Amino acid sequence: MSNFTPASLPDLTGFRILITGGHSGLLISPCLFSLFLSIGIVTIENFAKIFRGLTTTTELARHRAKVYIASRSRSKAEQTIQKIITTQPNAEIEFIEMDLADLRSVKKGAEEYLTKETKLHILINNAGVMCTPFSLTAQRVEAQFQTNYLAHFYLTQLLLPTLQSTSRSLDTLLGTIRIVNVSSDGHAKLTPKEGIPFSDMTMEHVSTWTRYGVSKLAQVLHAKEVARRYGPNGIIALSLHPGTVKTNLSAGPRGSTWWYKVVQPLVELGAPGPEKGCWNTLWCAAGSDVKKSENGSYFEPVGKRGKASVHAEDVQMAEQLWGWSEGVLRDNGL
Ligand SMILES: NC(=O)c1ccc[n+]([C@@H]2O[C@H](COP(=O)([O-])OP(=O)(O)OC[C@H]3O[C@@H](n4cnc5c(N)ncnc54)[C@H](OP(=O)(O)O)[C@@H]3O)[C@@H](O)[C@H]2O)c1
């Protein structure tokens, strides 16, 4: 689907969308931004090029969806909303507080969403960290694994009843409810030979790159398992690699891996800007060309069915991961 552009998205009037990390680190104040905007130094479009979460949110709102940004930072999310509204006064965007590093916060955020809405058409599990130093979360799970995968597993579990009931009342253009996991080609390149290391899920003694790869593999497996379990109920779950894009994500590897600063220009050489970095996410979330027969698939930019790794195709591994994840929730009284 290489001729996709955000302009080809359908009208999303009436859609409710929740995206984690939908603000992506805006760094200047609304006043300064408005000044830059008024004297023509920036436009929302070229500012959005710097931030993928922002560009995804901006495009979905431009197509008239109501978008909820689930973020751990009220100030960043509110700055983002302010900036989008500067150029799209009718944009409907709200903030939901959610820190993926604490599953209690995920629960609170999901509950807050459900006090505001009875429907959810698209859930985009986008937020993530990469190559952060080893640490455990409040639930004693490795931090990258929880932020990138487990918190999104839990969020999806909490919202599945609403996604399913929305599916039953569906009268929309897309004809399906979507769950989109923003994974990475690292799901194949950075994982240990056994795939998900069930015998040592704390992963303290493997490299931070491996921990990232495992979290991204888990996201691909999760989409496949959701598709298998809930496809018959009208849910389409996809995973994707957005491409290599210059974003704040590289702060992780720059901080943890001395040589990354040296190779980063090479890694990012020729990489598209984030204005294109969000296209695959947009295509999976709201593109009209997604086929029910592709439920559970992994996509490369843009809308190209990608080759998921052998582990990512392992149905038993997907089931085992699901069981492991439910176990962690149970152990934490969630
Ligand atoms: N950039 C690439 O080349 C690339 C390649 C492959 C895959 N990806 C994937 O694309 C997704 C988006 O990344 P990006 O490139 O847009 O990076 P980014 O600009 O760093 O955005 C990551 C987002 O995740 C949020 N986040 C991190 N930890 C969180 C937490 N504990 N709770 C809630 N939100 C949290 C960040 O919020 P804060 O601003 O509060 O930190 C930010 O909004 C990630 O899943 C990443 O793995 C990116």
Question: pLDDT band for position 25 (50/70/90)?
Answer: very low
Q: For 69-128, how does the pLDDT look when each residue is reduced to its tens digit (9 = 90+)? A: 999 999 999 988 998 899 899 999 999 999 999 999 999 999 999 999 999 999 999 999
| Confidence at residue 138, expressed as pLDDT on a 0 to 100 scale | 97
Distance CA 154, CA 329 (A): 8
Using CB atoms within 10 A of its CB, is residue 312 exposed (0-12), middle (13-18) or buried (19+)?
A: buried
Q: Residues 140-171, buried b or exposed e (16+ Cβ, 10 A)?
A: ebbbbbbbbbbbbbbbbbbbbebbeebbeeee
| Confidence at residue 256, expressed as pLDDT on a 0 to 100 scale | 86
Nearest one of 178, 176, 253, 188 to 220, comparing CA atoms = 188
180 lines ligand 1 (CB under 6 A): no
151 lines ligand 1 (CB under 6 A): no
C-alpha distances (whole Å) from 75 to each of 23, 86, 109, 128, 232 are 10, 16, 16, 18, 40
Q: Assign 3-class secondary structure to 223-237.
A: HHHHHHHHHHHCEEE
Q: In the predicted model, what is the mean pLDDT of residues 218-228? A: 98
Distance CA 210, CA 247 (A): 20
- Domains in the chain and their CATH numbers? 98-331 (3.40.50.720)
Per-residue DSSP letter, 136? B
- Mapped onto helix, strand or coil, the DSSP state of residue 122 is strand
Nearest one of 207, 202, 67 to 126, comparing CA atoms = 67
Question: pLDDT band for position 42 (50/70/90)?
Answer: low
> How confident is the prediction for the chain on average, in pLDDT?
89
Cis geometry, peptide bond prior to residue 220 (ω within 30 degrees of 0): no
C-alpha distances (whole Å) from 14 to each of 10, 34, 55, 121, 172 are 12, 29, 20, 9, 9
Q: For 43-71, how does the pLDDT look when each residue is reduced to its tens digit (9 = 90+)? A: 555 554 445 567 888 899 999 999 999 99
Q: For 275-288, how does the pLDDT look when each residue is reduced to its tens digit (9 = 90+)? A: 778 899 999 999 99
76 lines ligand 1 (CB under 6 A): yes
Question: pLDDT band for position 38 (50/70/90)?
Answer: low
Q: Which atom of ligand 1 is nearest to the CA of 271?
A: 3
| Confidence at residue 43, expressed as pLDDT on a 0 to 100 scale | 56
Q: Tell me which of 252-256, 286-290, 326-330 is least confident.
A: 252-256
62 lines ligand 1 (CB under 6 A): no
Distance 23 CA to ligand 1 centre (A): 9
Distance CA 207, CA 236 (A): 33
Q: Which residue would you say has higher pLDDT here, 39 or 5?
A: 5
Q: Which atom of ligand 1 is nearest to the CA of 185?
A: 6
Q: Tell me which of 25-29, 234-238, 303-307 is least confident.
A: 25-29
| Confidence at residue 30, expressed as pLDDT on a 0 to 100 scale | 40
Question: pLDDT band for position 40 (50/70/90)?
Answer: low
Q: Which residues are catalytically annotated?
A: 212, 216
Mutate to test the pocket of ligand 1, among 247, 269, 280, 282 (most ligand atoms within 8 A of CB): 247
Distance 247 CA to ligand 1 centre (A): 8
79 lines ligand 1 (CB under 6 A): no
Residue identifier of the C-alpha nearest atom 19 of ligand 1: 248
Q: Which atom of ligand 1 is nearest to the CA of 102?
A: 31
Residue identifier of the C-alpha nearest atom 7 of ligand 1: 184
Q: Tell me which of 38-42, 47-51, 157-161, 278-282 is least confident.
A: 47-51
Angle at which helix 315-331 crosses helix 208-230, to 10 degrees, equals: 100
Q: Which atom of ligand 1 is nearest to the CA of 24?
A: 43
Distance CA 183, CA 42 (A): 30
Q: Which residue type is seen at 9?
A: L
Distance 188 CA to ligand 1 centre (A): 19
